[in-house]
Amino acid sequence: MDDQPRPDRPTTAMTFDQMLERVRYEGAYPTRERAEEVVRTVLTALGRQIIGDERVDLAHRLPTDAALVLTAPGPDSEQLTGWGFVKDLATRTGGTPATARWDAGAVLAAVASLAGPDLLARILRRLPDGYALLFGQAQLRQPPSRLAA
């Protein structure tokens, strides 16, 4: 399966510059450069967690520069929970979990908007618990299935 964005991809609803400005505003970052650094860091980390068709479909919805960042790393062999994702992000950036959570939320809110509700729901079904809140969504749990007696 090819995880790289396709050249015939549809036009996204947002350019990379617009995405950076949205993240800069949402995250209250002082400069565009800081917003870009955060976008690249969070998308790289997300790219290690998303696999399969959801990864490819998300790349098609993102601006080209963002899609290239998302698909550059190969998926990790072990998926992290949402909290594990935040802790890993903090470790990789040398920041605190609180800062990593803030950064993830600022970027993933923009990603959620670009993904749309259907693709976002598919992504969240494939990821371990804890990611919905990072994407600005309610964390809904499915009731355990009851075995017939």
Tokens for 82?
A: 């949402």
Residue bearing the bigger pLDDT, 127 or 11: 127
Nearest to 65 by CA among 110, 31, 119, 123: 110
pLDDT of residue 141: 58
Q: For residue 17, is pLDDT > 60? A: yes
Q: 69: closest CA among 38, 91, 103?
A: 38
For residue range 26-58, list pLDDT tens digits in order: 999 999 999 999 999 999 999 999 999 999 999
Our measurement of the distance from residue 18's CA atom to the centroid of its chain's CA atoms, rounded to an integer in Å, reads 17
User: Quick check: 22 and 14 in contact, CB under 8 A?
Assistant: yes
**pLDDT tens-digit readout, 105-145:** 999 999 999 999 999 999 999 999 999 999 999 875 554 55
pLDDT of residue 9: 43
